[in-house]
Structure 1
Amino acid sequence: MEIIKPGTTIDFLGKRRTFVTASFALVLLILVLIPLRVNLGVDFAGGTEIEVKFHRAVEVEKLRGQVAEAGFGGASVQQIGSADENAFLIRVGQVSVLSDEDLERYREAFARELSSYGFVGLSFNPSTGDLLDLRTEREVPEAELLRAARAAGLPLTQRGEPVRNLTRAGQPAYQFVIQGLSDKVSEALQAEFGQDVEVRRVEFVGPQVGKQLRNRGIMAVLLAMVGIVLYVLFRFDVRFAPGTLVGLVHDVVITTGYWVVTGREFNLTSIAVLLTVVGYSVNDKVVVFDRVREVAARRKGMSLYDTINTAVNETLSRTIVTGLTTVIALLGFLVFARGSIFDFSAAMILGILAGTYSSIFVAGPIALVVDRWVQKRETERKVHESKTAQA
């Protein structure tokens, strides 16, 4: 399919300064806004995410007020799915409601109630949610554990097993599941809306785990770009690698601009989008640079300026068709999907457009700049060697 007629000679590099300057200005603006505008999800920031569904229409502001009355004033409440689904996502920036004072009080009570069983310690890890770990010297019957928990005033969960036996290799160990943050939010909502509310899903990520996920996500994107640049370096020419790298950085930053502008949640799905955009973008650039190599071999003596222009013109139809085909496939998700799938589709479309643009207006001009720099250095080296020989 030929959208662009064969023999088209558009001087893409003629306006390279305008396009490159505008691109770099936009990239710089997004980089400045990323720390201020990107809304990190539970995957990266840590906290608790609760998905609830109502069997009748509920206003977002009313729901936000109920969550605030439960003691979580900084919670984020977002409607997901279509309006008639009445489904909401509640994000709270913590994973536990247990304080250090509460833990110390429970520790003293258990030491007193289980002294005959050789109480060793009661510990709590805030990154794993509302779970209390108990260790004793001798095994404790479950009935005694429940009695001690009631005497200590421990608010055990009403869902599932409140006590877990983790004894291994003869070392008594137990875990109490207490009423946590999600229970507190659920109770507040049920008190207001009764049986009209249903808790669909509860997920929590500790702050340290969130930080690790964020760092590994960033590292995955960086390693992908470095690996691609090394491939271009060995497959083509050293002059093309910097253009590929700058183009990939451009595409990743522009795609990240979707979350900067919309304020939508940036999570692990977002990292998947960025990695996909990197793969798509490099495919476009490899096609262009491969055609540059073919044109250079076919037309000996042609300048790199004209070679790049010719290669871009010859691959322009393919670049546009490939981009449009992928965008059309994503439009279905954009129209009918909600939540993370909608974000994936919208950001991917932006990334595809950015990748197509950078393959034409960014990668080539950077390769041209590098080529002229290399030629200048080579000329200086030859002049220096000539002067040295004469001396």
Structure 2
Amino acid sequence: MSEQKVIRFMRQRYVAAALSIALIIASITGFAMNGMSLGLDFTGGALVELKYETTADLNSIRDEISDLGYPSASVIYFGSDRDVQIRFQTDNPQKGGEVADAFVESSTVPVELQRISYVGPQIGEELTNDGGLGMLLSLVIVMAYVALRFQAKFSVGAVAALIHDVIIVLGVFAIFQLDFDLTVLAAVLAVIGYSLNDTIVVADRIRENFRIVRNKTSVEVVDISLTQTLERTLITSLTTLLVLLALFFVGGEMIHNFALALIIGVVVGTYSSIYVAANVLLGLNISREDLIPVEVEKEGEELEELP
């Protein structure tokens, strides 16, 4: 690749590092001040699904559920504008049935009860713990894989990029108090996989170029590698975003937060694969010597035979 065609990404590495630090601080501040708005999957509560004969008025249903003593209940369409899902926090397993009966009796149009379910606080606590352990375990496995596949410095860069992405995605949900449920947790785990895939592609090209490019500094080699992978990264990200934007705008409220978490994760993951992982590698002083296998001279290999 000619010198003129190389994009000097790393000229802005200090600006990118400052931006990442600012986003992480803002996310952590959001956690500390607001905490996560956990959904019923984690906190425990009741879920009621109703099917109306005509289009359901969500505002009217919200007012009614508020009058029943649950002003913070979640009321959304699922499937169609006649199917309504109501979620509210309670520690009484019977409340779901009582609320469903109240809606069926008070409605001016025929209403059919589809489903009632209850998630106890103990199950919610187990889901919270298991979800957190699942994310930590995935990061440990990623670090081990990258260290074995590439080199220890690459594993630090990859895990730093993943932690960066996860903290920012969770930070957005904490700052804006968006519901965090199992679908969003699944999206966060998908973000880890997506970001890792991008980071591995970049790391593979950096390793290859360190071995074949001569008379270049580490910064120049990283710039060459990022330039070579930029087209692939942008095409992958843009095509993924097109699908996610369609899900976000027309997929319905059931998967709204799921799509939002993935959109944030894809954007931040693309950024981190270019700047965070590569920035960490340069901070660890990655060099050609780190990637060339050490040849061990066998004992007696150079000894000449005696006459």
TM-score by length of 2: 0.84
In the alignment, is residue 240 of structure 1 matched against residue 154 of structure 2? yes
Match of 1:45 in 2: 43
Query: C-alpha distance in 1, partners of 2:4/2:239?
Result: 23
Are the structure 2 counterparts of residues 39 and 6 from structure 1 closer, same or farther at C-alpha, using a change threshold of 3 Å? farther
In the alignment, is residue 344 of structure 1 matched against residue 258 of structure 2? yes
1:37 shift after superposition: 5.5
Query: C-alpha distance in 1, partners of 2:284/2:245?
Result: 38
What amino acid does structure 2 have at the position aligned with 1:216?
A: D
* Residues 155-204 of structure 1 deviation map (CA, whole Å, 9 limit, x = unaligned): xxxxxxxxxxxxxxxxxxxxxxxxx2122112222332155333322221
User: How do residues 1-391 of structure 1 correspond to structure 2 at under 5 angstroms?
Assistant: 8-34=5-31, 36=34, 38-56=36-54, 59-70=57-68, 72-81=69-78, 85-96=81-92, 129=93, 180-260=94-174, 263-371=177-285
What amino acid does structure 1 have at the position aligned with 2:41?
A: D
Query: C-alpha distance in 1, partners of 2:70/2:231?
Result: 54
1:228 shift after superposition: 0.8
State the superposition RMSD in angstroms: 2.7
Match of 1:158 in 2: none
Task: Give the conservation status (yes or no) of the 8 Å contact 1:79–1:89.
Answer: yes
TM-score by length of 1: 0.67
Bigger radius of gyration among the two: 1
What amino acid does structure 1 have at the position aligned with 2:88?
A: V
Query: C-alpha distance in 2, partners of 1:28/1:55?
Result: 49
Query: C-alpha distance in 1, partners of 2:115/2:179?
Result: 17
Are the structure 2 counterparts of residues 21 and 277 from structure 1 closer, same or farther at C-alpha, using a change threshold of 3 Å? same
Match of 2:294 in 1: none
Quote the sequence identity (%).
Answer: 30
Task: Give the conservation status (yes or no) of the 8 Å contact 2:54–2:109.
Answer: no
More displaced 10-residue stretch of structure 1: 18-27 or 5-14:
5-14
Task: Give the conservation status (yes or no) of the 8 Å contact 2:48–2:85.
Answer: yes
1:67 shift after superposition: 2.3
Runs of 5+ unmatched residues, structure 1: 97-128, 130-179, 376-391
1:359 shift after superposition: 0.7
Query: C-alpha distance in 2, partners of 1:335/1:92?
Result: 25
